[in-house]
């Protein structure tokens, strides 16, 4: 296994459109996290899955955001009616029982 | 509340110099973990080290060393004999065990390190 993968790597969309990102975690990792990182800032937590259960959501995750992990493997993050403020790098991370999280390369979203 | 402060926004050094990146954290948890991650220009966060709150032993890994001091709530990172390949943004992060958190990391704003030849 080569690590956490994310697709697409880059996404440019017009304001008001919907976008969906995918994360494939390291195969034996049952915990999966989504973070958002804006320029000059550290990553900020969005949501967390243990297996298929979404156990925590940040207040940053507005109603326009939804995340799923249907079979406890890959996860998707959808943003509906995108706004320019949604432009950011969206990072996915996974971990097993140990504490450190392993991050994917991110999806850079630009909303025009 | 949990918080991580990296007061140094940018540091520039010349190759072979030693450099220390500062990290100060706040937490009410008695059990917690501290991390350092490296984010090179390619963008992917690379895990460097994890320490738990009960282990204050300093750690050395090659040219990297970490100084964890609970008395000052600091977890500083030193690169000895820096190299151009060390140029990246370095993030310090905290994870508490209690307080309802499911284990998400609280990151500082990062320190951008530029190592010039």
Print pLDDT tens along chain A (112 aa). Answer: 579 999 999 999 999 999 999 999 999 899 999 999 999 999 999 999 999 999 989 888 899 999 999 988 999 999 999 999 999 999 999 998 877 899 999 999 999 9
Measured torsion, CA atoms of residues A24, A26, A31, A37, in degrees rounded to the nearest 10: -60
Model pLDDT, residue B101: 55
* Residues B70-97, mean pLDDT to the nearest whole number: 95
CB-nearest to B50 from A45, A50, A99 is A99
The number of helix segments (H) and strand segments (E) in chain A equals 0, 11
Model pLDDT, residue B98: 61
Is residue B77 scored above 60 in pLDDT? yes
A3 vs B70: CA distance, rounded Å: 33
| Residue A14 distance to chain B (closest CA, Å) | 24
Is residue B99 scored above 80 in pLDDT? no
What are the two backbone dihedrals, phi and then psi, of residue A54, each rounded to the nearest 5 degrees?
-85, 110
Residues on A contacting B at a C-beta cutoff of 8 Å: 31, 33, 35, 40-45, 48, 50, 55-56, 58, 89, 91, 93, 95, 98-106, 108
CB-nearest to A106 from B43, B101, B104 is B43
- Per the CB < 8 A criterion, the answer to whether B42 and B34 are in contact is no
* Residues B35-57, mean pLDDT to the nearest whole number: 92
CB neighbours of A25 closer than 8 A, spacing ≥ 6? A4, A32, A73, A74, A75, A92, A94
CB neighbours of A74 closer than 8 A, spacing ≥ 6? A22, A23, A24, A25
What are the two backbone dihedrals, phi and then psi, of residue B71, each rounded to the nearest 5 degrees?
-60, -30
Model pLDDT, residue A72: 86
* B95 in contact with chain A, both atoms CB, cutoff 8 A: yes
């Amino acid at each position: 296994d080569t690590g956490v993968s994310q697709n697409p790597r880059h996404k440019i969309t017009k304001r008001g459109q919907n976008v969906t990102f995918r994360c494939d975690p390291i195969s034996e990792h049952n915990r999966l996290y989504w973070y958002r990182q804006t320029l000059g800032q550290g990553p900020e937590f969005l949501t967390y899955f243990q297996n298929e259960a979404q156990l925590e959501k940040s207040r940053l995750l507005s109603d326009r955001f939804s995340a799923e992990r249907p079979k406890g493997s890959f996860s998707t993050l959808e943003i509906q009616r995108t706004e320019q403020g949604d432009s950011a790098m969206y990072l996915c991370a996974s971990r097993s029982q140990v504490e450190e999280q392993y991050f994917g390369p991110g999806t850079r979203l630009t909303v025009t | 509340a949990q918080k991580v402060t990296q007061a140094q926004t940018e540091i520039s050094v010349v190759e072979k110099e030693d450099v220390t990146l500062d990290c100060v954290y706040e937490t009410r948890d008695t059990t917690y973990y501290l991390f350092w991650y490296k984010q090179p220009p390619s963008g992917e966060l690379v895990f460097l080290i994890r320490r738990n709150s009960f282990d204050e032993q300093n750690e050395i890994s090659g040219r990297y060393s970490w100084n964890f001091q609970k008395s000052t709530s600091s977890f500083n990172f030193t690169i000895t004999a820096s190299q151009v390949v060390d140029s990246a943004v370095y993030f310090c992060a905290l994870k508490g065990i209690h307080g309802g958190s499911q284990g998400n990391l609280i990151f500082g704003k990062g320190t951008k390190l530029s190592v010039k030849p």
